[in-house]
Amino acid sequence: MAVGKRGRRSGPPSSREAARDPRSAERIERGDQSLTTNQGLPIADNQNSLKAGTRGSTLLEDFILREKITSFDHERIPERIVHARGSGAHGYFEVYESQRKLTKAKFLQDPKTRTPVFVRFSTVVGGAGSADTVRDLRGFAVKFYTDEGIYDLVGNNVPVFFIQDAMKFPDFVHAAKPEPNRAIPQASSAHDTFWDFVSLTPETIHAVIWAMSDRGIPRSYRMMQGFGVHTFRFVSAAGQVQRVKFHWKPLLGTHALVWEEAQLLAGKDADFHRRDLWDAIAAGAFPEYELGVQLIREEDAEAFAIDLLDPTKLIPEELVPVTPLGRMVLNRNPENFFAETEQVAFHPAHIVPGIDFTEDPLLQGRLFSYTDTQLIRLGGPNFHELPINRSHSPVQNLQRDGFMRHTIHPGRVAYEPSGIDDGSPRQVSAESGGFESYAAPVAGTKLRDRTASFFDHFSQARLFWNSQSPVEQDHIVGAFQFELAKLETQAVRQRVADMLQNIDRGLAERVVAVLGIQLGKPPATQQVASEIDVSPALSMLNHPGAGIATRKIAVLVADGFEATEVRALRQALAKAGATAVLIAPRLGPIVPREGAAIPADHSVATVSSVLFDAVAVPSGKESLAALAASPAFARFVQEAHRHAKALWIGAGADALLDSAGIDSSAASQMRGVVASGRSGFAKGDLIGFTDAIAAHRHWARAV
């Protein structure tokens, strides 16, 4: 059982919570049941179709075969046009203390209220079957089943978006998706049409530099931040209005893969993030995120260098700190991927009293798009009746009929006002909890244009660049180099490189160093000085989280390993909440130098270092000789070293290190390498190893 930041227990869902879940009415429990058709007719033979003799044709009369095949033919629904690849989890949200002064939203009033949630994490560009670890932004969509109806916070793992106006969304997505003639590349921005669009649309550059940073390749859905992106409004019962930006911060810290690792993982385990989320929840290591808000008084809304209505901009946390409101714990895996993760329908317009929109033109467009897309994806207007989408508070209105209507409304009256029946359901005044839009003052001429304050596209991209540590900057340079080197059209490569100068001349120079081109004239821009030059909160390295809970450590062994060392390692890791996974040349029992054999968890043939956070090679002369003779183990160690992971090196591993291309004489001096001495390991080594894992990566060693 995990313990939350505020020391609360994060147990599995209680029976009361399960009973509240409207899905319970729709669940088909497995038991000793008869096989039937959809009409309930018991089926006597599920093996053979109805034929004219054993060698004859199948008869059209076979309604059982036809029903089965028809159902199968219609199993797929259209995948989401964006965010098609996703993984979901159930959990709950609870507020730390009443936020009555900030908002009248009921689920933010009482620390004793546990609001059920369903979360869907996703990549944006790839199809439903694409790999989890591609370079992309991640969706972070949360559905709160509140007592006032559904509230959806449909955000991403970075705080800014690529475009400023909904009008450009189809263009942006068409440019990023596989090119329409060849339908390649899948789930990748490294192609001409994406960068062509970017080079001609400078407002994209801020989100692009986030995507090229390590934020684009998260280690885990459990280790990434979430952002509402747009500015919203909080409205209190006393009528006080504030602008609000939402933040999710993971308890485990914000961590990334390295690019080569992400690429290898796409082949080794395309489901890496999905599996990681599922396994953690199944093991009771419930992911936890803190919800925080940046608050700006309505009257101060225009006090910043940036425009709060511009979704390509953020407010640095150093200017407006994030106030923690509560925590979300994910403690239950879905039971059926299709029914829950696939059919869940999020919508930024699913809001509750106390939260309201702003006039952000991207948000305004989203308010249309999400219902519209469900009409085609989920087949009609009644998708809110699907169990996963159903409000936990009563739904009463006079909308009727349509495809797949589940509810049955008796009576003659489906209109309002009516004097024939009791006039129910009635509208509810704002004082009694009815939703009332914030009365934002609006005046203007009808036009198609943008406010002048939207035209600075580079100041915050520069702020982001300046706020990265040197190693994070190296990774950004590498990502731009990779993507631009993949382009086929030289003019696009040139335009992007020239544009990068408007972020930072040094960045542009470093990027073109491997592209075989010279920098040209930077395009003209408008730039507004930002209030600060550096925002430490933007560097992932400043969000390390605590400890090594849920980390997976590969322990490489063959017959003859030192059992005492493996036992001590296992205990130390388990104590810290991490898991040691035994990897051997074969499955079955592996025999130590002394003591009882231990079964291997995996054969080296089916795993790879990229699936683990750190690697341990325990002592044992015979064991180490066998590992050193195996190219698979040498590669395992060499890759983990190259990806800057913590390494535990047992006594006498020189031959293995040599075959892994690591200078064995220098190993014990390397950052993040714990080399146990000839006289065996000490307690301090175990602490050193867990500390090295907690540091995530040891960049000084990366080669």
How many Å apart are CA 620 and CA 559, to the nearest integer?
9
- Out of 93, 145, 151, 169, point to the residue binding ligand HDE (CB under 6 A): 169
Shortest separation between residue 118's beta carbon and ligand HDE, angstroms:
10
122 makes contact with ligand HDE (CB under 6 A): yes
How many Å apart are CA 613 and CA 547, to the nearest integer?
13
Q: What character string, x for contact with ligand HDE (CB under 6 A) and - otherwise, covers 295-314?
A: ----------------x---
Give yes or no for a contact between 64 and 38, defined as CB atoms under 8 angstroms apart: no
Shortest separation between residue 287's beta carbon and ligand HDE, angstroms:
16
Query: Where does 493-651 show beta strands of DSSP type E?
Result: 552-556, 579-584, 589-590, 598-599, 602-603, 614-617, 646-649
Residue nearest to ligand HDE (CB): 139
Shortest separation between residue 253's beta carbon and ligand HDE, angstroms:
22
365 makes contact with ligand HDE (CB under 6 A): yes
Among 47-55, 151-159, 472-480, 527-535, which window interacts with ligand HDE (CB under 6 A)?
151-159
Q: How many helices (H) and strands (E) does the chain have?
A: 17, 20
Give yes or no for a contact between 152 and 355, defined as CB atoms under 8 angstroms apart: no
DSSP 624: H
Tokens 């934002």 — which residue?
A: 440
540 makes contact with ligand HDE (CB under 6 A): no
Smaller CB separation from ligand HDE, 194 or 699: 194
In whole angstroms, how far apart are CA 359 and each of 130, 202, 348, 455, 493? 35, 22, 13, 17, 35
User: Which residues make Cβ contacts (< 8 Å) with residue 435, sequence separation at least 6?
Assistant: 351, 352, 353
Q: What character string, x for contact with ligand HDE (CB under 6 A) and - otherwise, covers 371-410?
A: --x-------------------------------------
Question: In angstroms, how far is the first alpha carbon of the chain from the final one?
Answer: 39
Shortest separation between residue 44's beta carbon and ligand HDE, angstroms:
42
How many Å apart are CA 233 and CA 358, to the nearest integer?
7
326 makes contact with ligand HDE (CB under 6 A): no
Assign residue 12 a region (left: φ > 0; alpha: ψ between -120 and 50; beta: otherwise).
Answer: beta
Shortest separation between residue 245's beta carbon and ligand HDE, angstroms:
11
126 makes contact with ligand HDE (CB under 6 A): no
- Out of 2, 10, 82, 560, point to the residue binding ligand HDE (CB under 6 A): 82
In whole angstroms, how far apart are CA 507 and each of 195, 207, 500? 17, 16, 7
Smaller CB separation from ligand HDE, 154 or 615: 154
**CA dihedral over 101, 105, 109, 115, signed as positive or negative:** negative
155 makes contact with ligand HDE (CB under 6 A): yes
| Strand-pair partners of 646 | 614
> Hey, which residues are catalytic here?
83, 156
Smaller CB separation from ligand HDE, 336 or 373: 373
Q: What residues numbered 223-262 form the site for ligand HDE, per CB under 6 A? A: 229
Q: What character string, x for contact with ligand HDE (CB under 6 A) and - otherwise, covers 179-198?
A: --------------------
The helix-helix angle for 169-176 and 192-200 (nearest 10°) equals 140
**CA dihedral over 210, 212, 214, 220, signed as positive or negative:** positive
Shortest separation between residue 496's beta carbon and ligand HDE, angstroms:
22
How many Å apart are CA 258 and CA 670, to the nearest integer?
19
366 makes contact with ligand HDE (CB under 6 A): yes
- Out of 145, 195, 346, 636, point to the residue binding ligand HDE (CB under 6 A): 346
83 makes contact with ligand HDE (CB under 6 A): yes
Q: What character string, x for contact with ligand HDE (CB under 6 A) and - otherwise, covers 259-278?
A: --------------------
Task: Give the SS3 label for residue 654.
Answer: helix
- Out of 369, 481, 603, 664, point to the residue binding ligand HDE (CB under 6 A): 369
In whole angstroms, how far apart are CA 462 and each of 1, 162, 499? 43, 15, 12
Question: In Å, how far from its chain's centre is CA 692?
Answer: 25
Smaller CB separation from ligand HDE, 23 or 701: 23
343 makes contact with ligand HDE (CB under 6 A): no
Smaller CB separation from ligand HDE, 156 or 193: 156
Beta pairing, strands 323-332 & 288-297: antiparallel
Residues that bind ligand HDE (CB under 6 A): 80-83, 86, 120, 122, 139, 141, 154-156, 161, 166, 169, 229, 311, 344-346, 362, 365-366, 369-370, 373
